[in-house]
Amino acid sequence: MERRYNFNAGPSALPQDVLNHAQAELLNYQQQGMSIMEFSHRSKEYQKIHDGANELLRELLQIPDDYEVLFLQGGASLQFSMIPMNFLQTGQQGNYFLTGSWSQKALKEAQKLGDTYVGGSSEQDDFKRIPELDTLQYSNKDAYVHLTSNNTIHGTQWKEFPKHNHSPIIADMSSDILSRSLPIDQFGLIYAGAQKNLGPAGVTVVILKKDMLKNIPNQLPTMLDYRTHVDKKSLYNTPPSFAIYMLSLVLEWTKTKGGIKEIEKMNAEKTKLLYDTIDSSKGFYSGTAETASRSSMNVTFNLPGKELEELFLHEAAEEGFVGLKGHRSVGGCRASIYNAVPLESVRALSDFMQTFHHKHNI
């Protein structure tokens, strides 16, 4: 069967080379007579994978030595709770910048655990843009500042990050980590569910500045305390070993592609092609995000009318395109063009969009 054009928002496309590699080793990992899913997480075979993934992620993202790298479970959604549990103390506030559904959910969890406020938001504009840096508000009571770097539902992305020296910046980078160069040292903590650019669902990466650990209270449940996972190198309990194995293969693939700089170039080419297709349609396709805030990972757009939109999705599915329906909360269309989505798939989508436009233009 031919593979489809996968534009799913998450879980999303994985590199073909990675899938082939995993398939070849699935039943017999490195001639050991067992699947990697069957190895003990205390075995030397798995330990090599675990350590290698950590080291390669550090290399690719140029993570400084004063940061820890953790492989956790529970997705980014568990981090919504762990962050305030570990860092939001009495007398402090969590400062949240709202740019979409995921930042709203992070705020909602923090509100259950301590004092919070919204230091910046684009909700009044239906989250079609990222707030301007000079409009963001801070307080000397900030325990941390939280943002979501890329917004999968609304198709917006922070192009530049706030620089704030008084409290650590924490970022949910689930949907754009590994897609571009990052100023790691601007952040106190970065977290990312793997199922966009890092691998399959099941593992969450946390990049944590070591200085943050001194702020953690002692009464936390063991599994919800970052120090537990730092002390045990993410091996306090059985980790999602197969997901981490797949993560390691994706990191190796990223390196063979030339690392982050080359990946960023490829992503820029895909992004330009798709947005040019939208912009040149003279309103037949209309992007939902303001131009300056457009995401390079999730391209959101509408067609003139719901009936035409449904026809577009139907005909696209018949041509082998998957995942183009917008999030249920906003409707419309969305093409998620993460690292593993090849340029050829984006070209095929662009061609289909132009053909559909010419066929149905009113």
- Please tell me the predicted confidence (pLDDT) of residue 302: 97
* Cβ partners under 8 Å of residue 228, min gap 6: 222, 236
Quick: pLDDT tens for 114-160. Answer: 999 999 999 999 999 999 999 999 999 999 999 999 999 999 999 99
Reported confidence tier of residue 1, pLDDT bands at 50, 70, 90:
low
- The answer, yes or no, to whether residue 35 has pLDDT greater than 70, is yes
Domain extent listing, the chain? 26-256, 259-360
- pLDDT tens-digit series, residues 43-102: 999 999 999 999 999 999 999 999 999 999 999 999 999 999 999 999 999 999 999 999
Percent of the chain with pLDDT over 90: 97
Say what percent of the chain tops pLDDT 70.
Answer: 99
CB 92 within 8 A of CB 67: no
State mean pLDDT over 202-225: 97
Q: What is the DSSP letter of 73?
A: S
Q: How confident is the model at residue 362 (pLDDT cuts 50, 70, 90)?
A: low
pLDDT classification of 210: cutoffs 50, 70, 90: very high
pLDDT for position 108: 98
Q: Which residues are catalytic?
A: 102, 172, 196
- pTM score, whole prediction: 0.97
| 26-256 and 259-360 share one fold | no
How much is the pLDDT for 2? Answer: 81
Which CATH fold would you assign to the domain 26-256? Aspartate Aminotransferase; domain 2 (3.40.640)
Among residues 204, 184, 105, 187, which one has the least CA distance to residue 145? 187
The domain over range 259-360 is classified in CATH as 3.90.1150.10: yes
Closest CA to 118 of 99, 102, 140, 101: 99
Supply the mean pLDDT for the chain: 97
